[in-house]
Structure 1
Amino acid sequence: MRAKRILFSLVIGLSMATNGQVTSFNFDNDTQKDWSFSFTPYALLAAQSTDVGEESIRQSFDDLASLTNAGFQFVASLRYQRYSLSVDGTFATLGVNERQGPASIDLEVKQSIMDVSAGYVIFSTFIDNTDNIAKGWSIEGTLGAKNWVNDLTIDFKIELEQLENDFIIRTNENQSWWDLMLGVRTNVSLSDKVFLGARLSVGGFGIGNSSDFSYDFVYLNVFKVLNYMTINAGFRNFNYQRTDDGVDTSVNVIGPLLGLSFFI
């Protein structure tokens, strides 16, 4: 059972690196509206390290990209004055097929990550029109929850001419949990077209089936190309640590990210 849990944790930890959360930043100039909505498709070009018990995996972005069959990541954010609500979704299918002689192993991971958070702007020169060195600056506190769902299927197949049908052994494992996440976000406007943003959230805290501890850090450079569109380029690092059936798992993901935000 322990060996099976280690294998499952290694595979799931590996797949985490192709996914995850990024934050969209609602940057408006002096004419900021009461209501705004943004939609941001993005990609995380990450490398990862996974430690499960005494086993370790280190993978580059190219290694991870070769495992990804399909995937989509987005952030949708609704803001009203000082209040905000955002949903960060990741949906991906990863897999690998290895064959040697009549035997083959087909591995598939279906993964979804849904992060819902509410925020409140504690301080903002965008709203209060307070004089500041930068053109605009804000600090926002966030509270939310992140749901991880991983469905692993492994098919072991033997094809022999003397067998009327293929010999197949299928193993299926499902893992899911929620992490409470507390965070702070800051946005800085350097000009009408150049913005900086950063967010740090921490969570898990070993509540129920959640991670023992997790954190998520995002830094973004945002360039306004149209009144309704920005180009986002930055950096992201997230980590989680948890224990399942006595097996300690630690996953660390780090790398650049790219995205487009559309505003209405």
Structure 2
Amino acid sequence: MTPEPNQLLRPSLYVGALVLPLLMSTSALAQSAGGDWSYKIAPYFWGTGLSGTVATSPALPPADVDASFGDIWDNLDFAAMVVGHANNGRFGFSGDLQYFKLGNSGPTPGPAYSSVDVAITNKIYSLNAEYLLKTSSTSEVWGSIGARYWSVDAGLNFSAGTSPAASARSKNTWVDPMIGVRGRTELSGDLYLVGWAYAGGFGVGSDSSFDLFGALGYQFTPTTSGIIGYRWLSVDREDGSFQYDVEMEGLMAGVSFNF
């Protein structure tokens, strides 16, 4: 479905209102601690598809959704992400604020309902401590350990079949421990590769969660670059009647600012 202007504006303001205080507090902390700190902020836009199983109520069946990459623009309401890094020498911190608003429709497995509409809003906040594992004149690899907070608001609207139409909505929140790596490798000229790989959950919040991203970047100026790449994010969470076992994937592009 095509997002309306007000659907785009509210999440953008929401993400911005979260990021600016985070950057201000990080800068104040670094100034008080002294040392040579460097910072990076990278806002991204992610055109993501959605596939998996979502359940919200024991009275209604789970909904299987499958939006392939080719269906991205038909199923995306809005997606935004802002990543920030602060590092001093071999030590650093990273933050990741994500907002996804997705919709999808599909058939149901039995005759009770003819189809189901799924509407999902995700708010995902991550904070990691990082250590520079390997560096050279052209590349660097950072190890990360931290936590990721999930807030999922899922609504299912079943169209009538042999049973009358029905709907249910459920909100679920949890925290996953996360570990992983991120890195950057310089190519020829102003081109470079950047990416990350994270795993989490481990039965603490979700049963499992994986986050993979790779992109090609171009350095426009010493402090500004642009990237375009692909991201795949999965999570498997069950909490009573709530089930959220999904994969989200698609092209992601953005601009990175160093200061």
Q: TM-score, normalised by structure 2?
A: 0.66
Name the structure 1 match of 2:130: 119
- Shift of the 57–154 alpha-carbon distance from structure 1 to 2, 3 Å rule, reads closer
Q: How does 1:140-159 map to 2 (within 5 A)?
A: 140-152=142-154
Instruction: Return the match for 2:64 from 42, 56, 64.
Output: 56
- Shift of the 108–251 alpha-carbon distance from structure 1 to 2, 3 Å rule, reads closer
- Shift of the 260–251 alpha-carbon distance from structure 1 to 2, 3 Å rule, reads same
Instruction: Return the match for 1:40 from 26, 39, 42.
Output: 42
Name the structure 2 match of 1:91: 99
1:251 equivalent in alignment to 2:232: no
Counterpart-to-counterpart distance in 2, 1:170 and 1:248:
16
Name the structure 2 match of 1:11: none
1:35 CA displacement:
2.1
1:173 equivalent in alignment to 2:175: no
Q: 1:139·1:184 contact (CA, 8 Å) conserved in 2?
A: yes
Gaps of 5+ in 1: 1-32, 97-104, 126-134, 157-168
What amino acid sits opposite 2:199 in the alignment?
Answer: V
Q: Deviations over 1:67-114 (max 9, x none)?
A: 555553211211211112111112345569xxxxxxxx9986543110
Q: Deviations over 1:142-192 (max 9, x none)?
A: 001111112346799xxxxxxxxxxxx996522111111110222211245
What amino acid sits opposite 1:123 in the alignment?
Answer: K
Identity between Structure 1 and Structure 2 (%): 26
Q: 1:46·1:60 contact (CA, 8 Å) conserved in 2?
A: no
Aligned length: 202
Alignment root-mean-square deviation, CA: 3.2
The range that moved more, 216-225 or 45-54, is: 45-54
1:51 CA displacement:
2.9
Counterpart-to-counterpart distance in 2, 1:95 and 1:46:
11
- Shift of the 39–239 alpha-carbon distance from structure 1 to 2, 3 Å rule, reads same
What amino acid sits opposite 1:177 in the alignment?
Answer: W
- Shift of the 91–180 alpha-carbon distance from structure 1 to 2, 3 Å rule, reads same
Greater helix proportion:
2
1:52 CA displacement:
4.8
Gaps of 5+ in 2: 1-34, 56-61, 105-115, 159-165
Q: TM-score, normalised by structure 1?
A: 0.65
- Shift of the 114–57 alpha-carbon distance from structure 1 to 2, 3 Å rule, reads same
Instruction: Return the match for 1:228 from 223, 232, 240.
Output: 223
Counterpart-to-counterpart distance in 2, 1:154 and 1:48:
15
Instruction: Return the match for 1:240 from 232, 235, 240.
Output: 235
1:211 CA displacement:
1.0
Counterpart-to-counterpart distance in 2, 1:260 and 1:116:
20
- Shift of the 243–106 alpha-carbon distance from structure 1 to 2, 3 Å rule, reads closer
- Shift of the 246–40 alpha-carbon distance from structure 1 to 2, 3 Å rule, reads same
Q: 1:93·1:109 contact (CA, 8 Å) conserved in 2?
A: yes
If you compute each CA radius of gyration, which structure gives the higher value, 1 or 2? 1
What amino acid sits opposite 2:67 in the alignment?
Answer: Q
1:203 equivalent in alignment to 2:200: yes
Instruction: Return the match for 2:186 from 174, 189, 192.
Output: 189
Name the structure 2 match of 1:130: none
